[in-house]
Structure 1
Amino acid sequence: MEMPDIRTVLSPRSSEAGDFIEFPKKLYRDCRFYVPWFDRGMQRLFARKSPFFRHSDGEFFVAYHGTTPVGRIALFENRNFNSYTGNRDARFYFFDTENDQHTADALFNLAANWARSRGLTRLIGPQGFSSMAGGGILIQGFDQPPAMTMMGYNYPYYQELLESAGFCKYKDFVSAFLDPRTYQTPEKISRVASIAMKRGGFDLPRIRSRRQMRSMALEIGRLYNESWMDHEEFAPLTEEELLELTNDLTLVIDPKLLQVIRKDGDLAGFVLTFPDLTNALIKAKGKLNPCTLWRILREKRSTRRVIINGLGIHPRYRNNGGTAILYYALEKSVQDLDREVVGADLTQVAETTGLMLADLETLGARIYKRHRVYNLSL
């Protein structure tokens, strides 16, 4: 089969930009689990309006056979991350293609040359702009819906395409299912949390309004920078990136689901729990208009599933009861809603976090999805 022609997305209004957005929708048109990004969000990336592009760089590409799109890929040089970690990585993201090794090889060859031209020594992905963005391709759990766009869905053949192109496993990230109807914090953890709260000056203040939630959004973002600094995928987000991230999160989170831990008035930890809007996002097909917005708001008010994607405790409090309080807050986040929650999806847990995985087992969570990040030495 002939090798595809690969073209760069040069502007948000170019035909290539439209094909980059529409290709995966056509590829997954018969798949009930695929959730596309909103078109406006993608166009914003093409226009380099994300604060990521203040310090880093990236390009978007579409593969064609004649005039027909057959694949796509985005490539990023996260200079903040490389500078912080000492790595020389190029990241790929938004990788989608038909089940054709020639197309996949052509996209990855372009990616390798793009990285080498910048003096980068490793190609890794799928990985987004930061550790908060879900990474990896799905390799287990194809009969399960995704967690909105946080941890995406792909066809099973993606794994073979990557491995046949020479990529090796870097790390797996798992998702675990928790049934809030039967979940109860183990007695030992509850006891430690109770003692820590009484003796250590910890508190779980109730978040009652969206205004109150917005007022502490940036504070939570800053704590994220402090609480995740010992993770391999971490690099501090800039103030502008934190502001964008927290603005996005406050659009979808329900104040009743947000749990924060304070220590003598200072923010010490958080649990970010989101109403699962996956079904509404699938029906939206990437379009944001009055009809799809109404569906999303209706789903937000009625969904009985939640997604937990963001737990953090300041390092100084991990060994004096803070972690136990975090798990107690996790229980409250799924039991304080004004309706019965029948499923909680805990996402993006690295397989290398042995203590966290042991804690999930203790909490009665069941691993049911797995995403894999791959890397290729250049």
Structure 2
Amino acid sequence: MIIAEEVHHENQKKEFLEFPVRLYQHDKNYIRPLDKDIEAIFDPQKNKFFKTGECKRFIFKNKENKTVGKIAVFVNQLYEQNQPTGGIGFFDCINDQETANFIFDYCKKWLQERGIKAMDGPINFGERDKFWGLLIEGFIEPLYGMNYNFPYYKELLENYGFQIYFEQLCFSRPIFAEVSRVFTVMHAKHSKNPAISARPLKKNNLEKFAKDFTEIYNKAWAAHGEGKQLEEAKTLKMFKTMKPIINEHISWFVYENEKPIAMWMNIPDLNQWFKYMNGKFGFIEKLKFLWIKKFKKNEKMVGLVFGVVPEWQKKGLEGYMIWEGTQHLRKHTDFKVTELQWIGDFNPKMIKIAENLDTEVTRKLATYRYLFDREKVFERHPML
């Protein structure tokens, strides 16, 4: 017999955070997320999606009163799909199909009571940039904000009837790997043009780089199906929030006579420092973080955004920028590998860009969908 408990009290919140720690205690690749990052998702004062949706989280216990699983289930009016679709996320479970089926059935019933016809998962009650998807290939240390799970989770979902809605591809390359000859040739070509220059982002001039970032992003992605137009004020706010972890050697901008035409934005992978925090980030942990950040080498950086304005696309400018930045960061940083944030398999243009950067797929996640009407034809995410 399994009992579901809705998370209300502090001891239940603690158990929601601690259960996966016990579950993964012997997995060397598991990195505990920061408690504050998880709790913020379920705080209506911090998560704007509560204004347009509803979210509940549950722990599941067996007859011995031991936790055997946990999950969050939610609806969001802004999550527009072909049919009313809810979400599940933050799923953890023992390796038992009966237990998993009970949890999924419980979520299905909760969603049906709210008029929902399908559920996607594991996804986040928030943006796609964090805690989105199930790891299905590449069981290595997760990047900051990335889901991690046991390989058997795939069977638990698929045996229940979930189908892959889209795959999330993560591309990576070693910093010191041989660079494509195309890059060096294009670098040599554009280096001869006195109007073209490349420079790294500087913390003491965030206003300028926020403005340049916004201009490039909006031009490069406006007609690409990659989300909304950015506002300069929001970009600057984001840059200021990121300031403590910005590495001035790894984010680059390219200019034509001071006009911004390309960017390559990277940050250190915070999990390479947070893995020593055991999920905590109070005053003591912040001091520890500063010490670790200063003395512990971080060898992994994460590619956030790459963009070239339309008039400079297909002219090899990315080769110039990548090789200019790579030569510099090889000398001035300890990074040995770079990994791009995931790209959906429904986005062939972005996948092509990633492949052209001389990368390879090093891990895959998947967003699953379960249609409540089992007679309805399942369709994957439409291509962009």
What TM-score range do you get, normalising by the shorter chain?
0.7 to 0.9
2:273 counterpart letter in structure 1? A
For the Cα contact (< 8 Å) 2:263–2:308, is it kept in 1? no
Residue equivalent to 2:307: 313
Q: 1:259–1:164: structure 2 CA closer, same or farther, 3 Å change rule?
A: same
Instruction: Say if 2:60 is the partner of 1:58.
Output: no
Displacement of 1:208: 2.3
Q: Distance in 2 between matches of 1:160 and 1:92?
A: 16
Q: 1:86–1:28: structure 2 CA closer, same or farther, 3 Å change rule?
A: same
Query: Where does 1:213-252 land on structure 2 (aligned, <5 Å)?
Result: 213=206, 216-217=209-210, 220=213, 234=227, 248-252=241-245
Q: Distance in 2 between matches of 1:227 and 1:55?
A: 30
Residue equivalent to 1:133: 130
Q: Which runs of 4+ in 1 moved over 6 A?
A: 193-202, 229-233, 235-244
Query: Where does 1:325-344 land on structure 2 (aligned, <5 Å)?
Result: 325-326=317-318, 328-337=320-329, 338-344=332-338
Give 2:16's match in structure 1, choosing from 13, 17, 20: 20
If the length of structure 1 is used for normalisation, what is the TM-score? 0.80
Q: Distance in 1 between matches of 2:257 and 2:73?
A: 44
For the Cα contact (< 8 Å) 1:304–1:343, is it kept in 2? no
Residue equivalent to 2:246: 253
1:138 counterpart letter in structure 2? L
1:61 counterpart letter in structure 2? F
Residue equivalent to 1:208: 202
Residue equivalent to 2:29: 33
Q: Distance in 1 between matches of 2:153 and 2:237?
A: 31
Give 2:67's match in structure 1, choosing from 44, 69, 90: 69
Displacement of 1:287: 0.6
Gaps in structure 1 of 5+ consecutive residues: none
Output the aligned Cα RMSD: 3.6
Residue equivalent to 1:178: 173
Displacement of 1:341: 2.5
Displacement of 1:364: 3.3
Q: Which has the larger radius of gyration?
A: 2
For the Cα contact (< 8 Å) 2:198–2:324, is it kept in 1? no
Q: Secondary structure at the match of 1:257?
A: coil
Q: 1:319–1:271: structure 2 CA closer, same or farther, 3 Å change rule?
A: closer
Give 2:102's match in structure 1, choosing from 96, 102, 106: 106
Listed one character per residue, the Cα deviations across residues 305-347 of structure 1 (whole Å, up to 9, x for unaligned) are 23324224367457464xx434543444554332342222223
Aligned residues with identical type, % of pairs: 22
Query: Where does 1:341-356 land on structure 2 (aligned, <5 Å)?
Result: 341-356=335-350
Q: Distance in 1 between matches of 2:112 and 2:225?
A: 23
Q: 1:26–1:364: structure 2 CA closer, same or farther, 3 Å change rule?
A: same
2:344 counterpart letter in structure 1? A
1:280 counterpart letter in structure 2? W
If the length of structure 2 is used for normalisation, what is the TM-score? 0.79
Residue equivalent to 1:148: 144
2:78 counterpart letter in structure 1? N
- Greater shift after overlay, 230-239 or 246-255? 230-239
